[in-house]
Structure 1
């Protein structure tokens, strides 16, 4: 059954009212999407729509659809290479120019969240929002000691909207998995469930505050990135140090200030790999509204990380797998790449690994031989997903967040400095990380750090051993009982089989005699005696 059917009808009405079918020329659309456009214009709202020529109809439609639709628009806003300029301009506005909610509601939420009057909390509070996005809006203010801050306030009544829309998305994911093998290989339902939890966590600003403090600690004193200080926080409110900078997409400002965009792009890439491999804690929502650059006092300014609500982490095994995969690609060793994927248990048994290596070389090979401005990174990812479908590869859901972040990073890097050599920069970082993690010295240090835990466990060994032996004894007793019961059952079955054979044999003899000697049929007493004799044998 389709969940929230009335909500689907509402989304259909919004798409028709804003005439979203007119955003992209039909000849530029995949054939499978054209029936969807025909469905949009069937709704009565399309017949009298006044938004046919509205230059902001996509932005306004996504705002009306709700926070999940806005999030999807923010994701697409980093793909300048895929989205037409007139559409992209509207998506970029969703990063920080969503329609704000009432200032009275904002003030009431601040006072409820921080348990104090506004005048007690701030020396100055500015009513006009500095920015407004899908989950929250931001106001500028000043503390009583003069420090300039920004106050982030979550939108009211968000959770119910998100849960409803994720129910629909979950249903759609299940339909895709039922019909498409590629969707099953990617574990679409698990990805949607993980993303649902990630977005719902974003509603709790105490989690974002903790993430911000953690990342600030990792990059304390770094010449490449600065993380603002958190002053106050609650579930709905976060008060953070105000920074001065511009979004990473503002290339005109960088050129006007003579900021070296190549150095800026290289530092951004180094920061990303540092987060993934050194810290195992990476920013997973890297649209331009969350990544700023300092604009004061330096030819080589630092990045500024904002909105640390959605962060990613990998297991040690997945970290090593990703590092080895990237190094295999950089070295052009696709047989090694397949071996790494096989060791990660992503390849089903009896797969033709040579054929898979040839397909990966054909698809991924161009990534290491061309500059970024000549690569269709998203197109290559689509081809890789197609290979995963054809060879039945199992891609773990926990890596999809990293894949999403890579799409963001590639999109931002292409805008900033198209000639960026991503592989040349990444290879020494990855080589050093792998070397450090397989180093005997590091493994010994890790063993030494865990030694107290080992010793504590060793003290418990006698108790654990006794418990294990008692458990084994109980298990053996239970197994002995099961064996005896099985043996009894086997004996009964063998006896039953023997009796059935004897009975069948006697009855066959009787029938044969009856056919050969008609006089035998005329002697019922003899027949009855034979049956009784057979019954006694079977007993």
Structure 2
């Protein structure tokens, strides 16, 4: 059953009211997409709509649809290579120019959450929001010691709508998995469930504050990136250091200040690989509204990490798998790539690995040695997903967040410095990291660090062995009991079969005699009945 039909009808009404069917020419869309446009035009809200010529109709429609729609718009806003310029201009505004809520509501939420009056907390609080996004909005303020800060406040009453929308998405995920092999290979339902947890965590600013402090620790003293300090936090409010910089998409400012955009792009890519492999803690929501660049030192600018709500982590096994896969692609060794994927358990038994390697060489091979502006990473991913569908590959859901981040990184890099050679920059970073992981001294050091835990665990070893032996003993006793019961049932069945055979034989004999002499059978039955009655009385 389709969940929240009234919510679906509301989304249909919004799409019709803003005439989203007029955003793209119908002839440029796939056949199935044209049916959706026809459905939008069928709603009565489309008949009297005056929004057809509104240049901001997509932005306003996504705002009315809610946080998840805004998140989708933010993701698409980094894809200048896929989105028409007039549509892209609207999506870019969703990065930090979403419709704000009232300042009085923000101050009330601050006071309730931090348990203090706004005037007690701040020497100055600016009522006009500095930025507004899907989950929260930001106000500038000053502490009583003069430090300039930003105050992030979550939007009121959005949790219920997010939960409803995710129930619809989960239904859609199950629906597609039953009908599309590609959806099953991607574990679409698990991806939606994982993303649901991520978005719900984003509503809790204490988690974002913890992530920001952790990221700040990793990059303390770094010449590549600066992470602001967090001063106060609660579930609905976070107060952090105010920074000076411009969004990474503001290339006009970089050119005006004489910044080296190539060097800046190399720093950004190095930061990404450092987060994924050195720290195993990467920013997974890298749209331009969350990535700024310092302007106070144009000759050696640093990136500024904001909004650390959505972060990604990989297991050690997945880290090594991803690194080795990337190196295999860079070396054009596609048989090695398939072997790595096979070792990771993503290839089902019986797969033609030679054919799979040929397909990967055809799809992924051409992108090696190309500069950033010639890459279509999103298109390559779509082709890789199609290969996964055809060869029944299993793609772990935890890697999908990394792939989403790579789409962001490629989109940002294309704008910043299209000629960037990501392969020549990434290869030494990955090679050094893999060598470090396989260094015997490092492995011995890690083993030495675990020795105290192993020794402490050894104290429990006798107890664990006794428990295990008792468990085996009890299990053996249970199996013996089950075996005895099975044997008893077998004997009963054999006796029953014998009785049935004897009874059947007697009945066959009686039937034969009955045909010859009915009177003789009657006498026999009377005698048997008499014997049975005497036996019961005697008993």
Following the alignment from structure 1 to structure 2, what is the Cα–Cα distance between the partners of residues 194 and 75? 17
Structure 2, gaps ≥5 residues long: 530-539
Following the alignment from structure 2 to structure 1, what is the Cα–Cα distance between the partners of residues 520 and 255? 119
Following the alignment from structure 1 to structure 2, what is the Cα–Cα distance between the partners of residues 509 and 419? 100
Aligned CA-pair RMSD: 2.2
Following the alignment from structure 2 to structure 1, what is the Cα–Cα distance between the partners of residues 312 and 505? 74
Secondary structure at 2:356 match in 1: helix
**Equivalent residue number for residue 451 of structure 1:** 451
Q: Quickly say closer, same or farther: Cα 1:387–1:498, change in 2 above 3 A.
A: farther
Aligned 8 A contact 2:73 2:91 in 1? yes
The answer to whether 1:166 aligns with 2:162 is no
**Equivalent residue number for residue 364 of structure 1:** 364
Secondary structure at 2:95 match in 1: coil
Following the alignment from structure 1 to structure 2, what is the Cα–Cα distance between the partners of residues 89 and 431? 39
**Equivalent residue number for residue 377 of structure 2:** 377
Question: Counterparts of 1:214-229 in structure 2 under 5 Å?
Answer: 214-229=214-229
The answer to whether 1:210 aligns with 2:215 is no
Following the alignment from structure 1 to structure 2, what is the Cα–Cα distance between the partners of residues 164 and 17? 21
Question: Counterparts of 1:459-478 in structure 2 under 5 Å?
Answer: 459-478=459-478
Deviation digits for residues 170-191 of structure 1, max 9, x if unmatched?
1111111111111111111111
**Equivalent residue number for residue 147 of structure 1:** 147
The answer to whether 1:114 aligns with 2:95 is no
Following the alignment from structure 1 to structure 2, what is the Cα–Cα distance between the partners of residues 370 and 462? 60
Secondary structure at 2:53 match in 1: coil
Pairs aligned (count): 530
Aligned 8 A contact 1:18 1:61 in 2? yes
Following the alignment from structure 2 to structure 1, what is the Cα–Cα distance between the partners of residues 210 and 366? 40
Aligned 8 A contact 1:232 1:240 in 2? yes
Q: Quickly say closer, same or farther: Cα 1:521–1:37, change in 2 above 3 A.
A: same
Question: Counterparts of 1:69-84 in structure 2 under 5 Å?
Answer: 69-84=69-84
Aligned 8 A contact 1:230 1:240 in 2? yes
**Equivalent residue number for residue 196 of structure 1:** 196
**Equivalent residue number for residue 41 of structure 2:** 41
**Equivalent residue number for residue 237 of structure 2:** 237
Greater shift, 290-299 or 481-490, is seen at: 481-490
**Equivalent residue number for residue 441 of structure 2:** 441
Aligned 8 A contact 1:66 1:161 in 2? yes
Following the alignment from structure 1 to structure 2, what is the Cα–Cα distance between the partners of residues 44 and 163? 28
Deviation digits for residues 378-435 of structure 1, max 9, x if unmatched?
1111111111111111111111111110110111111111111111111111111111
1:18, distance to aligned residue in structure 2 (A)? 0.5
Aligned 8 A contact 1:329 1:368 in 2? yes
**Equivalent residue number for residue 351 of structure 1:** 351
Following the alignment from structure 1 to structure 2, what is the Cα–Cα distance between the partners of residues 501 and 303? 89
Following the alignment from structure 1 to structure 2, what is the Cα–Cα distance between the partners of residues 488 and 380? 64
Aligned 8 A contact 1:291 1:304 in 2? yes
Following the alignment from structure 1 to structure 2, what is the Cα–Cα distance between the partners of residues 164 and 321? 36
1:369, distance to aligned residue in structure 2 (A)? 3.6
1:521, distance to aligned residue in structure 2 (A)? 8.2
**Equivalent residue number for residue 427 of structure 2:** 427
**Equivalent residue number for residue 398 of structure 1:** 398
Following the alignment from structure 2 to structure 1, what is the Cα–Cα distance between the partners of residues 478 and 499? 32
Deviation digits for residues 31-62 of structure 1, max 9, x if unmatched?
11100000001111111111111100000111
Output the TM-score relative to the length of structure 1: 0.94
Following the alignment from structure 1 to structure 2, what is the Cα–Cα distance between the partners of residues 307 and 89? 22
Greater shift, 496-505 or 182-191, is seen at: 496-505
Secondary structure at 1:293 match in 2: strand
Secondary structure at 1:137 match in 2: strand
Deviation digits for residues 507-533 of structure 1, max 9, x if unmatched?
77888x88xx9858896479979x99x
**Equivalent residue number for residue 20 of structure 2:** 20
**Equivalent residue number for residue 537 of structure 1:** none
Greater shift, 378-387 or 87-96, is seen at: 378-387
Aligned 8 A contact 1:263 1:300 in 2? no
Greater shift, 362-371 or 62-71, is seen at: 362-371
Following the alignment from structure 1 to structure 2, what is the Cα–Cα distance between the partners of residues 469 and 243? 62
**Equivalent residue number for residue 536 of structure 1:** none
Secondary structure at 1:153 match in 2: strand
Greater shift, 164-173 or 241-250, is seen at: 164-173
Aligned 8 A contact 2:363 2:383 in 1? yes
Secondary structure at 2:351 match in 1: coil
Q: Quickly say closer, same or farther: Cα 1:527–1:365, change in 2 above 3 A.
A: farther
Following the alignment from structure 1 to structure 2, what is the Cα–Cα distance between the partners of residues 54 and 447? 64
1:492, distance to aligned residue in structure 2 (A)? 2.8
Q: Quickly say closer, same or farther: Cα 1:276–1:528, change in 2 above 3 A.
A: same
Aligned 8 A contact 2:219 2:225 in 1? yes
1:335, distance to aligned residue in structure 2 (A)? 1.3
Aligned 8 A contact 1:124 1:143 in 2? yes
Aligned 8 A contact 2:369 2:421 in 1? no
Following the alignment from structure 2 to structure 1, what is the Cα–Cα distance between the partners of residues 36 and 123? 53
Secondary structure at 1:350 match in 2: coil
Secondary structure at 1:289 match in 2: helix
The answer to whether 1:98 aligns with 2:98 is yes
Deviation digits for residues 211-264 of structure 1, max 9, x if unmatched?
000000000011100000011111111111111111111111111111111111
Structure 1, gaps ≥5 residues long: 533-539
Following the alignment from structure 1 to structure 2, what is the Cα–Cα distance between the partners of residues 428 and 171? 44
**Equivalent residue number for residue 535 of structure 1:** none
Following the alignment from structure 1 to structure 2, what is the Cα–Cα distance between the partners of residues 427 and 521? 101
Aligned 8 A contact 1:368 1:423 in 2? yes
1:303, distance to aligned residue in structure 2 (A)? 0.3
Secondary structure at 1:6 match in 2: helix
Secondary structure at 1:240 match in 2: strand
Question: Counterparts of 1:302-317 in structure 2 under 5 Å?
Answer: 302-317=302-317
Greater shift, 143-152 or 211-220, is seen at: 143-152
**Equivalent residue number for residue 156 of structure 2:** 156
